[in-house]
Structure formats: structure tokens, C-alpha cells
Structure 1
């Protein structure tokens, strides 16, 4: 358990360090806006997002959401010898750890806190968030289309696994672990896609909007892959 926790922390920590470099380059490039001279660079530089903005809220919330995906992926890699599942888990862990590092790096560059008293996903308020939630309505804690998500048992946002579900994954092995992981990650991706669509619509920092749209496309593709993997194992998504 200690080794696994250190490995998760190492991957996430390394991603943050790399992201600070990449995010800095991206921010400078965005600020230049194709202009020439220091005056034009200064004039075109983007304003720092407010602490309660969609840009900051998405970065904070998705960093938390991604961290759980990394944790679940390492859990299943230690509990199955199936190369197909282990390869998928590695890809998800690597991708989401790096994206998490980018988002935390942006918060550092913006000099904004990584945690606030603001409720998770409050940044989506007023942006037709009910529409984005319709695809995951009824999942763990929601009452129906357009309803507000209620955090419970450690599940802070749509799609996040509960503490009880994570304990089940830790206790499982072989095919049972594979199926549970694929089901939990399917729910996780659906929740993540809804949040990323919200940022793609509401965020103002262009590089962050592009990242969010890329998440939507990549995770939708992985949903199709996981559906096929569940079918091959005689199972199906939970929702």
C-alpha cells in the first residue's frame, strides 16, 4: 500500500513539475498573440482568471477528478495480469496525471489556491449545466436530469467512485477487478466529459478550452473501447 501510494504521488508530482514548464510556455505564447514588440505583448496578455471563474474552478475540480482516475488505474494494474486492461490503465494514468499537472501548474501561474470553500462544480452555475448533466443524471447522488449533484461517501463530483467502491476494487482480483474497474472508469469518464464540456463552453483561457475539448474527444473514444472490453467479459456499463 505504501509503495502504491508513493508511486501515485511520484507520477502526479512529476506531472506537476513538467506542467509548470509547459504551462508557462503556453501562457507566454498565448500572451504574445502574434504581435510584435513589448507594448503589443503586454496589451494582448490574457487577464489572470478570478478565483471563482470557470477557468479556475475547472482546473481545481478536474485535478481532483483526475487524481482518482490515476489511483483506480494503479489499483487495477496490481490486481490483474490481463495485458489489455493493464495497457488501458497505464494510458489513462499517464494521460490524466499529466493533464492534472498542467491544471495545477496553471493555478500556480495564476497564483490561485488549489482548494477553496467553493462547492465542486459551482463554476458551472448559470451555464446551462443541467444540459451537461443530463447524460449522467441518476448516477450516484443525482436525482434526475438537471438536478444538483450531492456528494456522498467520498464521491465529490459526478462519476467519481465512492470510498466503498474503491474498497471493493482493492479487494478484487482477476476478471472481477477488470470488470469493476471498467465499470467505475466508464462512470468516471461520463462525469469528466460533462465537466470538460462545461469548460469548453465557459472557460476563457484558450489553451484550457482546447485541453477541455481534447478531454471530451479522448474520453469518449475510451468509453467506446471500454464498452467493447466489458462485452468481451460478459458484462456491461452500470449506467
Structure 2
């Protein structure tokens, strides 16, 4: 009986050791695979901050035109854009909260994160090869000489004057102006999303950015057709 008790004690001790080792291993694995928080000056943070602002204006323009026309096609497009971009904006702001980063980067020009990418990795680590830059040609940003003016903070954003014109227009005139302004807006947004797809390191954010490129390009094609139907075209 004494021998059996000793054997059982050894068995339980061994089992406890294995369990403890498994727990330690699981904790170590969880720590090793846990996502790192992006740095405040990273592409991940910059894209989330800037695209949230960019999206907000698209939502605003879509609500304006909804009340300025009875055309069902334009109203349906405006609803889809407002709904999609409001949801995406919520995701971007949610990530900034999760990362404990400000919604707006103080003392930093909009789209400054697109100029390089040296600190785009979480924690500010460098490490981008030329392959990361594929598809980023033609990106519009402050590095390309864009100057914020009249409330237009980034390429593609409408000015306060243009938003005022949209609020005053109605019917076909409002439809054309909305489609032209939103075309410009999408082009600027696509450039920014391509920038994140090449520079961001948070995988879910990169996937969102690539999805924006594809969805907004599809809407660009649709809006070009709608402008043609109204005897107009995108602005030069």
C-alpha cells in the first residue's frame, strides 16, 4: 500500500508538472502571437486617422444629395456609400481606441505617413522592401505638393465652397455635382487605401484597405456611367 501511495504521488506530481508546462507554453505562445500596438507615427495609425476624416465627408455628401434629388439610382448609391463608409469609419476609430492612440495626430500633416514608411511597423520598427510598394505609384499626398485649402484637407476632398453648392443644388444639377465630387473623393481614397495596403502592417487593416480599393473602383465605374446618362462626365 505504501508503495502504491508513493507511485500515485509521483504520478500526480508528474501530471501537475506537465499541466504546468503546458500552461506556461500556452501563455508564452499567446504572448508571442499577440498583436503589437502600432506606433503613433506608423502608417497603420496615420491611415486610420486620415481615412476616418475622409470617410466622414463622403457620408456627409451622401446625406446631402439624398435630400436634394428624387432619383432612385442616385439615392441608392448615396445610401450604399454612406452606410459602407460610416461602418468602416467606426472600425478605424475603434482600432485607434484599441491601440490607445488619438483620433487626430497632433502636429502632423494629413497623409504624412504615406511619404515614407520607415516607422510603419508596429512599435516603430523598420523593414519594408520594394515589394511592399507595388501598386503605390501615383499616390497623391502632401509629398506630391497638395496644399490643404478651403476645408479640403486631403486629395479628393471637396471644399467648403463645393459642399455649399451641393446643398443649394437640386434635381439633375445636384446629381451631377454629387457624382463628380464623389468621383474625385473616391480617387483620393483609393490612393490612400493603396498606400495602406503597401505600408500598413496590421493584417486586418491591410485587408480593409484592399477591399476599399476594389469596392471604390467598382463605384467609380458605376458613377462614370451615371454621369454619361446625364450628359456629363467626371471633372478633369
1:218-233 matched pairs, under 5 angstroms: 218-233=215-230
**Structure with greater Cα Rg:** 2
1:63 aligns with 2:52: yes
Aligned match for 2:109, one of 99, 119, 138: 119
1:98 aligns with 2:87: yes
CA contact (8 A) 1:57 1:121 kept: yes
Alignment TM-score, normalising by the size of structure 2: 0.79
1:1-239 matched pairs, under 5 angstroms: 37-116=26-105, 117-126=107-116, 132=136, 134=138, 147-239=144-236
CA 1:133/1:183 → structure 2, altered by over 3 Å: closer, same or farther?
A: farther
How far has the Cα of 1:148 moved from its partner? 2.2
How far has the Cα of 1:115 moved from its partner? 1.0
User: What residue is the counterpart of 1:23 in the other structure?
Assistant: none
Count of residues paired in the alignment = 196
How far has the Cα of 1:38 moved from its partner? 2.9
Give distance in 2, aligned partners of 1:108 and 1:218.
26
Q: Can you list the C-alpha shifts for 1:85-111, whole angstroms capped at 9, x where unaligned?
A: 000000000000000000000000000
Give distance in 2, aligned partners of 1:37 and 1:234.
64
User: What residue is the counterpart of 1:22 in the other structure?
Assistant: none
Give distance in 1, aligned partners of 2:139 and 2:223.
17
Alignment gaps of 5+ in structure 2: 1-24, 118-129
How far has the Cα of 1:125 moved from its partner? 1.1
How far has the Cα of 1:132 moved from its partner? 4.3
How far has the Cα of 1:149 moved from its partner? 1.3
Alignment gaps of 5+ in structure 1: 1-35
CA 1:166/1:187 → structure 2, altered by over 3 Å: closer, same or farther?
A: same
User: What residue is the counterpart of 1:12 in the other structure?
Assistant: none
